[in-house]
Structure 1
Amino acid sequence: MSKNDEESLRPATRLVQGGRRPEWTGDPRLGGAVVNPPVWRASTILYDNVADLKARGHATHDKLYYGRRGTPNVWALADALTDLEPGAEGTLLYPSGVAANSAGLLALLSPGDHLLMVDSAYEPTRAFCNGMLARMGVRTTYYDPLIGAGIADLLTDQTKLIFLESPGSLTFEVQDVPAITAIARRRGIVTMLDNTWATPLLFPALAHGVDVAMMSLTKYAGGHSDAMMGSLTATRAVWPKLRSAAYQLGQAVSPDDCAMMLRGLRTLDVRMARHGENGLAVANWLAARAEVGRVLHPALSGDPGHALWKRDFNGTSGLFGFTLKGVDEAARTRFIDALSHFGIGFSWGGYESLVVPSDPATIRSATLWTDPDPLVRLSIGLEDPADLIADLERGFAAL
């Protein structure tokens, strides 16, 4: 199949077929092929002779060289993720989403550079900017996630990268990604997007002008809360810098984890549909409750980001927040502790529903979070939404 034919396939088909190259799933000597690449656990790779070793070189993203450079499990997962972003040159894998973000920023920024970071970014991303990047002489300016084309007013001659996260993982503001990336392209500035909430199924980042799309595969891509990994999928112009930095930093992932991630990825299309459907059912129910101040969910018509979500996204995931009207933190704790179908735990995107208290005011600098009502974040899983709603009723009773 030609590259054009592959890119014409719809996302659900690409999810099933991506990364299943015959050389990774079959052996002519055995007279057949398997559906999934077998797990290739390896540190040392053996060569036939010295000439073979020297001929192998270092262009090893799809050839065995040394275990850290990957085996067919790594390449199959990377291939499958690249297939989800038409126009991408390739994908690199990292031990976690935080590692992917940090490695990407290190690869693309140098001392003296200026970084524009969205104010609603995931807290570990902010910590990296305020810590290691600051120590190496990179200046970070945080910006309002709703700034849109106004980002142009913040650019300087030293601005080298604009980081986006849409929707924000705590407060769910939707950014005008096409407006920001268009300005960045005209100025020769790289853009990087944390696309974990939507995945490429709901928001094909590169098609909206983004140069580097990051995902915490730990969440929806893996989908089963049993493995951690992150990815960067990039355009041809940016790809060499990312790849070189990943090799220099010694970033590597386990072939076993890749096999688990690839298995989760195959069902991402059907799982995302159910997450979105369940999430909307719960969100709409919450919006009608007297105990709720507001629901932070861009797919709801009353949400401030709804128009941009409707314009740019292909659907919704199951992560959103809501406030408890007129109560204190102790009441929020009673509400959460009364739930039985929602696990209390970090991360999200697995098959099970989760709940955590959320306090975004503590990690804002360019914008203020002034809502006096305590915020709760829900990750809606694959349970029957009627059971989840009944559980939330028990939480409200505990207020």
Structure 2
Amino acid sequence: MSESTKRSTRLLRAGRNHTGWVNAPVSRASTYVFDTVQDWRDTRKRRETERLPSYGARGTDSTYALEDALVELEDGHRGFLFPTGQAAIAVTLLAFLKPGDHILLSDASYEPVRNFCKHQLADLGISHTFYPPDGNGIEALIQPNTKVLYVECPGTITYDMLDLPRISEIAKKSNLWVIADNTWGSGWLYQPLALGADVSITAITKYIGGHSDLMMGASVANERAWPALQKATYGFGQTVGADDAFMALRGVRSMPIRLHAHAASALLVAQWLESRSEIAHVFCPALPNDPGHALWKKHCHGTNGLISFELQKRYSQTQAEGVIDALALFGLGASWGGFESLVIPTDLAGTRVLTDWSQRGAVIRLHIGLEDIEDLIADLNQALNTLS
């Protein structure tokens, strides 16, 4: 395909492995046999720099096809697959950190990442410091032993934007690795590698899978970062099953269209919520009055189905949970990115360390699915009316 071919067209053809099949067939395999001892030795030597069939844990046609599609999606060099998004994060961090090192972590990071740094990394003698979600003042937080700058943009729950090219430039001056959680953008809406990151991590479970029926994570690296990531991935024995890889690759094909539908409905819901007197603030970078809107327009290619809203301070947490319980079409579930609408309460006061959320109203996160928008707004309307 020519360089002028649109991204959506390239994505439909990515990962075919030149087999002729529209979607690469499922390859369930563990043992690969060789004709001679010399073939075996040559492959074991070459597989450190080349992707060759040698053993199921090193990849099969199914996982190779998905990796190729994700590399195309993220505009990266090589990709690796993991059983969950959290596994992708944990192994990637351990690829670039050792005892005595220090990591800078966004205060808008996913809570399991915060816990991983607080417990597992701390037990290894690796310290961490939180920085503001917008990245301001990050230079002053870099220590002599800082090795990784961890980014989540837009941030969890509040969808804060930061200037990743500027932050990456600062990081590179101090020889830091920039690792980005790109689950919100899923490679389609946001491309951290093109903006200066070294590794982009995605929970395939979410929008790439798209149907709430598989668990998977992926890390896509640039050429500079992939040797260290490959060493850690193989060292920790990380791989995924062929059937899950097949389903994830199938999800890649329809993701752009699904994201467009999620975004259209989410924006309508966000605008409707802004009109409600019970709501103090709606968090969504695609809204013109959002603090990160300018950066969102500059660096993102759209939005998704995630929005959060803050109730007026006069409403208690119990009342907020009553709103959630009153919803009929929104399932109470921790994940998102599937076809269904979901809702969860949040605890920003208990998780964030740099902003005092105790003086703010209760925050509820929504994932807007593919149900009819009029039905979703009617459901939210009757649930918010319980506050009266």
TM-score by length of 1: 0.93
Task: Write the letter of the residue equivalent to 1:47.
Answer: F
Summarize deviations over 1:146-204 as a string: whole Å, max 9, x none: 233x2111112211110010111222211221211111122221101111111222111
Q: How far did residue 51 of structure 1 move?
A: 3.5
Aligned to 2:102: 114
Instruction: Please state if 1:99 is matched with 2:90.
Output: no
Structure 1 Cα separation of the partners of residues 32 and 66 of structure 2:
20
Structure 2 Cα separation of the partners of residues 38 and 89 of structure 1:
24
Structure 2 Cα separation of the partners of residues 371 and 320 of structure 1:
21
Q: How far did residue 58 of structure 1 move?
A: 4.8
Aligned to 2:365: 377
SS at match of 2:243: helix
Task: Please say if residues 116 and 159 of structure 1, whose CA atoms lie closer than 8 Å, have aligned partners that are also in contact.
Answer: yes
Give matches, 1:202-217, under 5 Å. Answer: 202-217=189-204
Give matches, 1:324-363, under 5 Å. Answer: 324-325=311-312, 326-363=314-351
Aligned to 1:84: 73
TM-score by length of 2: 0.95
Q: How far did residue 46 of structure 1 move?
A: 2.5
**Residues 379-388 or 58-67, more deviating:** 58-67
Task: Please say if residues 320 and 379 of structure 1, whose CA atoms lie closer than 8 Å, have aligned partners that are also in contact.
Answer: yes
Instruction: Please state if 1:160 is matched with 2:156.
Output: no
Give the aligned length. Answer: 384
**Residues 38-47 or 229-238, more deviating:** 38-47
Summarize deviations over 1:116-135 as a string: whole Å, max 9, x none: 00011000000110111111
Structure 2 Cα separation of the partners of residues 123 and 269 of structure 1:
27
SS at match of 1:157: coil
**Which 4+ residue blocks in structure 1 deviate beyond 6 angstroms?**
none
Give matches, 1:2-17, under 5 Å. Answer: 5=2, 8-17=4-13
**Residues 300-309 or 208-217, more deviating:** 300-309
Aligned to 2:221: 234
Task: Please say if residues 279 and 310 of structure 2, whose CA atoms lie closer than 8 Å, have aligned partners that are also in contact.
Answer: yes
Structure 2 Cα separation of the partners of residues 251 and 291 of structure 1:
47
SS at match of 1:200: coil
RMSD: 1.4
Task: Write the letter of the residue equivalent to 1:358.
Answer: T
SS at match of 1:116: strand
Task: Please say if residues 171 and 360 of structure 1, whose CA atoms lie closer than 8 Å, have aligned partners that are also in contact.
Answer: no
Task: Please say if residues 14 and 80 of structure 1, whose CA atoms lie closer than 8 Å, have aligned partners that are also in contact.
Answer: no
Structure 2 Cα separation of the partners of residues 58 and 120 of structure 1:
42
Q: Percent identity?
A: 45
Give matches, 1:298-313, under 5 Å. Answer: 298-313=285-300
Instruction: Please state if 1:65 is matched with 2:54.
Output: yes
Alpha-carbon spacing, 1:57–1:173, altered in 2? closer, same or farther (3 Å): same
**Residues 207-216 or 171-180, more deviating:** 171-180
Summarize deviations over 1:339-383 as a string: whole Å, max 9, x none: 111111011011111001111111122333244311110001111
Instruction: Please state if 1:125 is matched with 2:113.
Output: yes
SS at match of 1:140: strand
Summarize deviations over 1:215-248 as a string: whole Å, max 9, x none: 1111111110000111111111110000010000
Task: Write the letter of the residue equivalent to 2:10.
Answer: R
Structure 1 Cα separation of the partners of residues 234 and 180 of structure 2:
22
Aligned to 1:45: 32
Task: Write the letter of the residue equivalent to 1:11.
Answer: R
Aligned to 1:145: 133
Aligned to 1:30: none
Structure 2 Cα separation of the partners of residues 56 and 322 of structure 1:
54
Aligned to 1:394: 382
Summarize deviations over 1:324-345 as a string: whole Å, max 9, x none: 2221122112211111111110
Task: Write the letter of the residue equivalent to 1:64.
Answer: P
Structure 2 Cα separation of the partners of residues 218 and 189 of structure 1:
29
SS at match of 2:355: coil
Structure 2 Cα separation of the partners of residues 9 and 112 of structure 1:
47
Of the three residues 163, 178, 192, the one matched with 2:179 is 192
Structure 2 gap ranges (5+)? none
Task: Please say if residues 62 and 72 of structure 1, whose CA atoms lie closer than 8 Å, have aligned partners that are also in contact.
Answer: no
SS at match of 2:295: helix
Structure 2 Cα separation of the partners of residues 8 and 103 of structure 1:
36
Structure 1 gap ranges (5+)? 26-32
Instruction: Please state if 1:183 is matched with 2:170.
Output: yes
Aligned to 1:173: 160
Q: How far did residue 72 of structure 1 move?
A: 0.7
Task: Please say if residues 335 and 398 of structure 1, whose CA atoms lie closer than 8 Å, have aligned partners that are also in contact.
Answer: yes
Task: Write the letter of the residue equivalent to 2:208.
Answer: A
Q: How far did residue 205 of structure 1 move?
A: 1.1
Task: Write the letter of the residue equivalent to 2:15.
Answer: G
Structure 2 Cα separation of the partners of residues 206 and 49 of structure 1:
41
SS at match of 1:57: helix
Structure 2 Cα separation of the partners of residues 9 and 371 of structure 1:
50
